[in-house]
Amino acid sequence: MKPSRAHITTCKGCRAPICWALTSANGRRQPIDAEPTTEGNVAVMQGADGQLYVRSVTAARPDIRPGEWQAMPHHATCTSPPPRRSSSGQRARSGVRPAPWAR
């Protein structure tokens, strides 16, 4: 199995093809590499609602079931992590200049 073209989008960071899936654990959106790989530690499937769902492949549930494919979370392969916010702290006060007394 592979993701259908309708699900494939582009990572805003590294421009790699990814698809968004909901985690079966808590329903959060998680980016997954669009290209299936047997190295991946998650299994992705398309639900009856057309949404992609992702679950972890664990020792307890190692089997890839019919309709699923094995993939890598994009967090593991993204070459452009989100920018840190630390560098913006220095300039925060630049608009506040103490004015000298006028008289």
Summarize as ranges the residues that interact with Zn ion (CB under 5 A).
11, 13-14, 78
CB of 13 to Zn ion, least distance (A): 4
CB of 78 to Zn ion, least distance (A): 3
Count H helices, E strands: the chain? Answer: 1, 6
CB of 19 to Zn ion, least distance (A): 12
CB of 79 to Zn ion, least distance (A): 6
**CA–CA dist 45, 84 (Å, integer):** 33
Our CB check for Zn ion shows the closer of 1 and 11 to be 11
Our CB check for Zn ion shows the closer of 14 and 25 to be 14
Pure H helices in the chain: 74-77
What is the residue type of 20?
A: W
Our CB check for Zn ion shows the closer of 72 and 78 to be 78
> Across 1-103, where does the E strand assignment appear?
8-10, 17-23, 29-33, 42-46, 52-56, 68-71
Our CB check for Zn ion shows the closer of 14 and 61 to be 14
